[in-house]
């Protein structure tokens, strides 16, 4: 990557950071923002200053809050095991009880 391309890329990142900062700032100006959400958006603003632009999901959440609609995160997976909804397979014997405590001895040779 040439120096010119690097400079252009840094400029695009700075532009995105400034747009994200404006978005988060507009969200923080809302009067009806819950205290927990206000704290999270304040943290986002600090993150922008230190690390760079928001992720697409963060940007989508901020836009939804700014427009006054409830943000529903897309479901990417379902944790069926923890919720107990996965079918159980066949039961396996407990190996802890079934294994010998000591390995078998070697046969003694008559030599």
pLDDT of residue 44: 87
**Per-residue pLDDT reduced to its tens digit, 9-58:** 888 878 888 888 888 889 888 888 888 888 988 888 888 888 888 888 88
Q: Where are the alpha helices (DSSP H) in the chain?
A: 3-28, 35-51, 56-66, 80-83, 95-98
| Residue closest to 30 by CA, chosen among 59, 53, 63, 55 | 63
Given a contact cutoff of 8 angstroms between Cβ atoms, the answer to whether 41 and 27 are in contact is: yes
Count of alpha carbons within 13 angstroms of residue 76, beta-carbon side: 2
Tell me the pTM.
Answer: 0.58
Task: Write the DSSP symbol of residue 51.
Answer: H
């Amino acid at each position: 990557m040439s120096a010119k391309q690097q400079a252009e890329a840094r400029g695009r990142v700075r532009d995105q950071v400034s747009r994200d900062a404006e978005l988060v700032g507009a969200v923080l100006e809302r009067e009806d923002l819950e205290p927990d959400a206000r704290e999270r958006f304040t943290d986002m603003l600090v993150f922008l200053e230190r690390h760079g632009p928001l992720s697409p999901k963060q940007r989508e959440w901020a836009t939804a809050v700014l427009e006054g609609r409830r943000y529903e995160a897309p479901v990417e997976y379902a944790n069926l095991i923890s919720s107990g909804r996965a079918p159980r397979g066949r039961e396996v014997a407990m190996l802890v009880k079934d294994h010998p405590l000591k390995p078998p001895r070697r046969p003694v040779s008559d030599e």
